[in-house]
């Protein structure tokens, strides 16, 4: 089973700042199968990025995904108040696994 390790655990930033979230896999992951979600308290997760770099429908272009192999990154170019949330990466190889999440909090 592929293990995804997200870092940092918590990111403290101010609105307007750039957020860089990392997702590292224990084995190589096909870029087609690397996904990012956002989850706010009391809500279901929301799909942000699929295929490592494709934005889902309705996702603002301040969200971008990149990476390949074992290292993937989600970047939020300028944080808006509504972006403070927990972010999860997910992969599908022989099985499907999620990272443990990165919380982006207001500094």
Partner 1 sequence: EVQLVQSGAEVKKPGESLKISCQGSGYSFTTYWIGWVRQMPGKGLEWMGIIFPGDSDSRYSPSLQGQVTISADKSISTAYLQWSSLKASDTAMYYCARRNYGHAFDIWGQGTMVTVSS
φ and ψ of 17, to 5 deg: -80, 165
- # binding residues, partner 1 (CB under 8 A): 25
Contact (CB, 8 A) for 54 and 11:
no
Distances (CA, A) of 19 to 34, 56, 93, 95: 19, 19, 27, 29
- Note the maximum CA span of the chain: 39
Q: Is 38 in the site for partner 1 (CB under 8 A)?
A: no
**Contact map string, positions 41 to 80, toward partner 1, x by CB under 8 A:** ---xxxx--xx--x-xx-----------------------
**What distance in Å separates the CA atoms of residue 77 and residue 66, rounded to the nearest whole number?**
13
Q: Is 17 in the site for partner 1 (CB under 8 A)?
A: no
> Which lies closer to partner 1 via its Cβ, residue 10 or residue 32?
32
> Which lies closer to partner 1 via its Cβ, residue 15 or residue 51?
51
Which residues of this protein are in contact with partner 1, per CB under 8 A?
A: 1, 32-33, 35, 37, 39, 44-47, 50-51, 54, 56-57, 88, 90, 92, 95-101
């Amino acid at each position: 089973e592929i293990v995804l390790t997200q870092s940092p655990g918590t990111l403290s930033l101010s609105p307007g700042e750039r957020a860089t979230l990392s997702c590292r896999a224990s084995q190589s992951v096909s870029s087609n199968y690397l996904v990012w979600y956002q989850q706010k308290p009391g809500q279901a997760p929301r799909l942000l990025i699929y295929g490592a770099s494709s934005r889902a429908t309705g996702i603002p272009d301040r969200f971008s995904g990149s990476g390949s192999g074992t290292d993937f990154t989600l970047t939020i170019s300028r944080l808006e108040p509504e972006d403070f949330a927990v972010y999860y990466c997910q992969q599908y190889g022989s099985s499907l696994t999620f990272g443990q999440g990165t919380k982006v909090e207001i500094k």
